[in-house]
Structure 1
């Protein structure tokens, strides 16, 4: 009998098919619950131990907090002692949120954003050249060096490619004492009557000062520079008299060639879930939906009456069918015409509607009425339902006939154009997010060679944290994933192992972790890595319970609980318990298969019937346009 402090003691567990089980499980060990499917493993691990742990946790809150959290029923068990805080890592997908990715749920992307904000190099999206940042003194020194004894205009850009007449702006500038502006490349005086074409886009700069550059004029030059920077929101222009070209200077990041400026980067500048970083066209989703005509008409050999138009295939007599029938009379086809034989103008009308008002005769409850209706087309109807329906079932219905395409503005990167043009070690954040994790880990380990001493000092701790978290992901057998992979496309096993890697990364101790068959779908090599990860979790001072059938996992366990002997009403008992050697001595349930007394016979290969299940162009998740024939 072990000390009460060293065990989790369960008395009288009767949840589901469990038969009044009494059991002592050693703490801070890797424990495997095994046995036939339906023998009571999950009932003991999740519905008894985890449920009681959760219930006790909720009881630590005061009554006011519990009214929002709800109460949990006590599982059917007499008593459990020695229970630590419990974390269950089950096999279920983490999130249906399209904004959730492998990078965000593991928090690796958070460190990556920090890295790019601190040591990223900005490049102009116009010229592709490196952006520069100046101090006021650097600008003065450059002007004196390059334009000494030359006359210049100092200007502040205040309008860029925007429509409007700007009469109020010119009036405001005149009140401040300014005399001239440069409008669309032409310098003109500010007059009370100055007004631009409101329907054209304009570039406007205010002339701050006109002076000759020299050492003597440095004070005036500096004063004008500060005024220009203030009015130009951190950007100013210098034009040599008699020349059309301008030189741009900025306190923030700026392209010397084209004059575009970026705001100083922050971690949120690289977040597609923040307005500061997200592409404005797709709001950071990287994709947009369009109605797919091929999904609306999956089989053009069918007639409308036979179900050619999938969204209305089950409708035989209603207003939409009546409208299409009237369109058919106009364009010479019927509801029995194969869709492939309907004239192009008729197909266009069905899909996108017609301008004419249609008179539709409908009979309901023996009463016939005539309605004047506009027909907007099947495509527009689905589009409308998708955008404006508050009913989930209708939105889901519309979704069946839509396809996703990469956003044209950001190319699927989810980020705005500025954020996409910062690089670390010659890679943008989108490029590294598309690497598989093993390649990404190699890239992270090579970053230091591309950084200068100051950058390295800033980035060293970030790189260390990235490397550590990436190794946790690799250790649980997920090196093939990318950070950009949407979490809703992960299998239950992948999602479970990601949560496991995240938990290992937290370095919590004195916690009881419960996992549900984490080895499912893993290659033998990766399975051994997974077992080592569970041992790491144990070695830092945690208890780990794994519901598992895998032989390697059972062999490596410190303690095994074999439930059975059968399933359902024939299970629910502890058949044997102990370490692997102790289990092998027992010929009941799982042990008889482990020691070779029993074996599952592999059925002989059966000849097929010569027919195949054919798949063409499979592109789901990470599939790359796969064609396959399955016998």
Structure 2
């Protein structure tokens, strides 16, 4: 038993009381169609139980601040290690959170710059240094023997006044000479001071000649001078008139600028000591709208994308004195602006003199290893200065993954949610190698994944299904790759064994002869490229991570068209010109954002289906007799809803030191409506019972109502037949939300002039769901519309009519057009990474599934 995690009687969400043994210290992939119950087992059961056990080990006081995790619906879990979940959620929208701070690399950078950094004057850029008294003595005694010099202590520096009291105090202390404004005087002389002019006064502490037996005297004089002047002593050579300044702290005598002892804390832009005074370390100027949260904490509400850079630090976040400290000729902000790959090169080639090399050795090694971890998970194009709020879910997840690899933990259960999301096939091998490294460290990895390569590399596979929602929740098959491929009831196995596959189209659409042309696209890393998107086609934009796909499509194409066609308040990314806008009448971005901001939103309300259902109920005889209109059947307004729960159907009970509990409303029993409304029936069902139906059930129930049936059929076509009509939007995954939006579009009459934009629509989709998505995309294009998809999934790419491949690399080495054309033409391009993988996919996926009426596999 110690070699397994034993789960007994798991019933969370749609899980059907399953029991399963999961091998420890292995990479275990949970797969299955979307909505089958993978996340319910991985996150809602295993991770939730791990978190519950951790929180329960803490004091009641700590639990009050950390929050509580409810007990998952499971009989028992044995052999569970401490669990860490690495999900796709955006890490933080706090503008102070960056890639460097998330990975803790910035902490090591602060230590490196503080320990071995070379300070410079921020005014004149001269190098400034500090020396001990012994080092100063050695430097003075390197002068020729017999050199006459004076030790001066500057006690007044360019200050107005006559300074008589200072001279009287110096004379009383036994000093005889002074230099004022560059001229030497006896303290008994009548020294010319002008009250309204600035003067510099330096006490002559001693006059000496360079000779061996005066070293101790010089040491004493220097210490006396430092005690008088503070941090600067001047050595004046009588014969040459040359003057040298020495300091025991960092200071520039020419500009009278001094710097305190360098500490790692000073290089933090979250600390008042080191942050730029103008922007408080944000890097941009903004009038922060502060509000107080429930815990009385203030939070800065800022939108950095709309704010101009700080006029003082120019986005570098730190005070001028800190930005003047360099390591290898670069300040810490300049280093953070490097991509991960460029930062790795800098660290590898860093050469430090003398003792600095020994001091920095371990720090540099740790920085290099953490950068390498990021490189290994496909993030070599990211800058350490990039704020976390601008990262995609996949990037955020891989950053946390790199941090965990760097932590060196062992004996941990890691649960990952589709780590391959957003990764090009070229980078996937490095990710799998990184996962293997975590396993070799003695950890167990449970990976919720649809990517075929990841599934094939797993030590153990658990296929959950067979269907989604109510039709899922069972363990269909488990074992090695061969075991799954041989299981006839496993949908995953059928695709792995190639018994099922997504076919390549017989021919490619040429389009309608029109094109949308972008000229001089230069947003982010785009190299002022010119590119055309043929209208009336299915176009895929491909390329390695960070190659500029989102900059081109989301930042330039979508925002420009949304502003001009939809009158949205958006500013398009940097480009010179866009031609062909007149050929389009609207643009729609079908993304994976939630379909509603509140739990009240659901598939029925989003698609407009619920309006027609309410109208149908208002036409029943019972509703007419009672005078009920469609509004009576809305749970969002007073009248027909249950007022005890305001139409939510649930009540929240605060439990303070225990998790908050949601219970069905005592009055409506979770139905959302009051008793009178629920008494109105259509075909024997109340409106609450209709909302509890799945789309598959509802399409039969409303079979004789064409308008309603058509909308429900659209949900079924996009693979959401298992979703309840009234299911809260907050419980839908990103892929499910995206397909609800697709269903809403499929219901609309085709205009033939709509441009649909999708960013990685296969996220969260099983290959069987991708098969359905392919059909949907082709249906949209067959209506005369244009679909532009940013994608890495080869099954979708090989179905495109036209491909725009960007690269060749990510970050600064990307942003160019590698090649364009049909999938076959791109596959023949040797310079294209996409082409290399597409070539094998096209050769190995020939199929005679073909409907000659359209040319596409339906």
- Normalised by the shorter chain, which TM-score bucket? 0.7 to 0.9
1:132 Cα deviation from its structure 2 partner: 3.9
Match of 1:155 among 153, 156, 162: 153
Given the alignment, which residue of 203, 208, 219 partners 1:207? Answer: 203
- The offset of 1:519, in angstroms, is 0.3
Contact 1:132 1:256 in 2 (8 A): no
Structure 2 residue 344 is matched with structure 1 residue 441: yes
- Equivalence map 1:571-582=2 (5 Å): 571-582=472-483
Which residue does 1:46 correspond to in 2?
Answer: 43
Q: Which residue of 1 aligns with 2:454?
A: 553
1:101 and 2:98 matched? yes
Tell me the alpha carbon deviations over residues 371-419 of structure 1, each in whole angstroms, 9 at most, x when there is no partner.
xxxxxxxxxxxxxxx3565479xx9999679943333333332233333
TM-score, reference length from structure 1: 0.72
Equivalent residue for 1:520, pick from 396, 417, 421: 421
| TM-score, length-scaled by structure 2 | 0.54
Instruction: Pick closer, same or farther for the CA change 1:181–1:548 going to 2, 3 Å.
Output: farther
Distance 1:528 1:265 in 2: 42
What is the distance in 2 between the residues matched to 1:465 and 1:402? Answer: 32
Partner of 1:378: none
Q: Which sections of structure 1, spanning at least 5 residues, go unmatched? A: 290-385
After TM superposition, the structure 1 stretch with the greater mean CA deviation from structure 2, 133-142 or 468-477, is 133-142
Partner SS, residue 285 of structure 2: strand
The answer on whether the counterparts of 1:13 and 1:77 sit within 8 Å (CA) in structure 2 is yes
Give the number of aligned pairs.
524
**Partner residue, 1:285:** 282
Distance 1:564 1:203 in 2: 87
Provide closer, same or farther for how the CA distance between residues 489 and 208 of structure 1 changes in structure 2, counting only shifts above 3 A. Answer: farther
Cα distance in 2 for partners of 1:23, 1:285 equals 49
Q: Secondary structure at the match of 1:231?
A: helix
Deviations 1:63-97 (A, max 9, x none): 44334434322111111111111100010122222
Distance 1:106 1:592, change over 3 A: same
Q: Which has the higher contact order (CA 8 A, sep 6+)?
A: 1
Superposed displacement of residue 32, structure 1: 0.7
- 1:153: how far off? 6.1
> Which residue does the alignment assign to 2:412?
511
- 1:444 Cα deviation (Å)? 1.4
Measured after TM superposition, the shift of residue 489 of structure 1 is: 1.4
Point out where structure 2 has 5 or more consecutive residues left out of the alignment: 526-545, 553-572, 579-754, 756-785, 787-858
Does the aligned pair in 1 maintain the 2:288–2:302 contact within 8 Å? no
CA distance in 2, matches of 1:45, 1:177: 82
1:455-466 correspondence to structure 2 within 5 Å: 455-466=356-367
Distance in 2 between residues matched to 1:263 and 1:396, nearest whole Å: 31
Work out the CA distance in 2 between the residues paired with 1:507 and 1:398: 35
Residue in structure 2 matched with residue 10 of structure 1 by the alignment: 7
Indicate if the aligned counterparts of 2:153 and 2:228 stay in contact, CA closer than 8 A: no
How far 1:460 sits from its partner (Å)? 2.3
C-alpha separation between the residues in 2 aligned to 1:53 and 1:458?
Answer: 40
Counterpart residue number, 1:273: 270
Structure 2 distance, partners of 1:176, 1:38, is 88
| Matching of residue 607 in structure 1 with residue 511 in structure 2 | yes
Within a 5 Å distance, the mapping from 1:589-600 to structure 2 comes to 589-600=491-502
Deviation at 1:43, TM superposition (A): 1.0
5 Å-filtered alignment, 1:21-420, equals: 21-140=18-137, 142-143=139-140, 145=143, 148=146, 150=148, 152=150, 154-157=152-155, 204-209=200-205, 211=207, 213=209, 215=211, 221-239=218-236, 246-253=243-250, 260-289=257-286, 386-387=287-288, 390=291, 403-420=306-323
Structure 1 residue 555 displacement after superposition: 0.5
| 1:535 correspondence with 2:436 | yes
* Deviation string, structure 1 residues 550-590 (Cα, Å, up to 9, x no partner): 00011011111111222222222212111110111123322
Residue of structure 2 equivalent to 1:349: none
Whether contact under 8 Å (1:167, 1:195) holds in the other structure is: no
User: What is the Cα-based RMSD across aligned positions, in Å?
Assistant: 4.0
Q: Deviations over 1:15-73 (max 9, x none)?
A: 11111112111111111111111111111110111111111111222344334434322
Secondary structure at 2:69 match in 1: coil
- The answer as to whether partners of 1:157 and 1:206 remain within 8 angstroms in 2 is yes
Conserved 8 A contact 2:290-2:299: no
Deviates more, 1:167-176 or 1:253-262: 167-176
Query: Could you tell me whether the CA contact under 8 Å between 2:339 and 2:384 is conserved in 1?
Result: yes
Q: d(CA) in 2 for partners of 1:118 and 1:474?
A: 26
Q: Residues of 1 paired with 2:333 and 2:378: CA distance? A: 23
Spell out, residue by residue over 1:140-159, the C-alpha distance to the aligned partner (whole angstroms, 9 max, x if none): 45556369564646122555
CA spacing shift, 1:271–1:167, aligned 2, 3 Å: farther
**How big is each residue's C-alpha offset from its partner over 1:456-509, in whole Å with a ceiling of 9 and x where there is no partner?**
332222232222222211111111112222222111111111111111112211
CA distance in 1, matches of 2:71, 2:376: 37
Report what 1:294 is aligned to: none
Q: What is the SS of the residue equivalent to 2:308?
A: strand
Q: Judging changes above 3 Å, is the alpha-carbon distance between structure 1 residues 124 and 41 closer, same or farther for their aligned structure 2 residues?
A: same
